[in-house]
Structure 1
């Protein structure tokens, strides 16, 4: 049984599942770091269905995506949990930069990698995006017809969330101020020769000015923290802390919104040929994004709203994540 050297996964590890460190290259030359999970009781000479998994936005493969990968490997799939370009253990001289184009490409690069494995049936490869990577997964499936089934879990539309704000609350005046803020960040970056960290979803102070920060989540949660911040804090800082996770220990490059403003995600999701499964929590603050994407999708499609589940419940709560549903969806749709 292959084991990871310096294993830093933050979830309960199943020692019966074979997992290996892997590296693969995307179309832009970034080297992506992944954990390849082999099916329980896999046999030499057989070809298996495979699923590439990443997310949430700002997380690493040792967190939620690895838990999903391990659990679906227990259900008979070859699975690949990977870090997006410029994050985690993946390459990139500039670190923690979000890009709609590159992150979408990363899914197709993962399909490339899986399709080259002798134990994978390249006609039976699917993808699963968690949280903000859900919108990237749907975007990837819009063009890459090698993806035979696509699923999302508590998906965020990252472009809409950045440009419009959560629940579409950002004003036109705030958007104009944000353009000025990003312009200033670029000058500071080029003048200093150093990356400037900042929020990817820009908050504003009581005077209506953009807020700067050097860490996404605080070391200690303020008593007046809002419910969404509290939820993310409890996952990333408390129960699933990982030092390579942007959300746990760092912050995004402050220019991250730049690409998402100019090149929105999900522009052609109505054209996805593959079957679609959209899973969200009935109590998730992101639920409306999943419902909006689902309405735009064409058949075959399915929406599952897990009762009493919040957004981060579907990151790691084994009694709430519908793994049986994910498993049956991929199994039946990649025949």
Structure 2
């Protein structure tokens, strides 16, 4: 791999193991989550089918956090709705996130030698995933020169899926990055 772009990177392992904004980042919280998921897995085995966890909430509560409103604006409207999308409909299985608790897939990100561009929206609730991944990738001095974190002013998490009507996706930057690094 010569070059990689991550747009609105989401660390599913981290959010499933630690909760949003690392609110449950402790051994006891993870233990309780594993217990609940294992109880659910046993129940699903006995009943012969997986239960769905639900997609993006609908109807949207008035007091929903901004990122949930952003998800709703994307997944529950013509902008991003698809009949086979879990987020648009009934979500992942309840036990689907189980393996994420034990797979720290970014553990060796500092060893990535190839060029990496990480793009994230300034207003994205998930921005910390990209900032932390970039920090980790550039912590090893030999491989930091070909890494870049690009924060898109005014953009939310979902704006980088499709531009969000704001021309948020910097296609010129993507083209320049790949032209430079795919030689």
Q: TM-score, with normalisation over the residues of structure 1?
A: 0.50
Q: Which stretches of structure 1, 4 residues or more, deviate above 3 A after TM superposition?
A: 171-174
Question: In the alignment, does 2:150 pair up with 1:304?
Answer: yes
Name the structure 2 match of 1:162. 16
User: Within 2, Cα distance between the matches of 1:295 and 1:333?
Assistant: 21
Q: Map Cα deviations across residues 63-105 of structure 1 (whole Å, 9 max, x no partner).
A: xxxxxxxxxxxxxxxxxxxxxxxxxxxxxxxxxxxxxxxxxxx
Deviation per residue, 1:80-132 (Å, 9 max, x gap): xxxxxxxxxxxxxxxxxxxxxxxxxxxxxxxxxxxxxxxxxxxxxxxxxxxxx
- The 5 A counterparts of 1:55-74 are none
Residue 328 of structure 1 is matched in structure 2 by 176
Asked if the contact 2:17–2:25 (Cα under 8 Å) also holds between the matched residues in 1, the reply is: no
Runs of 5+ consecutive residues of structure 1 not aligned to the other structure: 1-146, 199-214
Secondary structure at 1:276 match in 2? strand
Q: CA offset at residue 167 of structure 1?
A: 1.2
Distance of 1:283 and 1:251 partners within structure 2? 24
RMSD: 1.4
Whether the 8 Å CA contact 1:280–1:311 is kept in 2: the answer is yes
Larger relative strand fraction? 1
On the 8 A contact 2:70/2:158 being kept in 1, the answer is: yes
Aligned length: 173
Residues 139-150 of structure 1 mapped to structure 2, 5 A cutoff: 147-150=1-4
| Higher RCO (CA < 8 A, seq sep 6+) | 2
Q: Which moved more, 1:318-327 or 1:227-236?
A: 318-327
Greater fraction of residues in helix: 2
Match for 2:62 among 223, 228, 233? Answer: 223
8 Å contact 1:188–1:196 — kept in the other structure? no
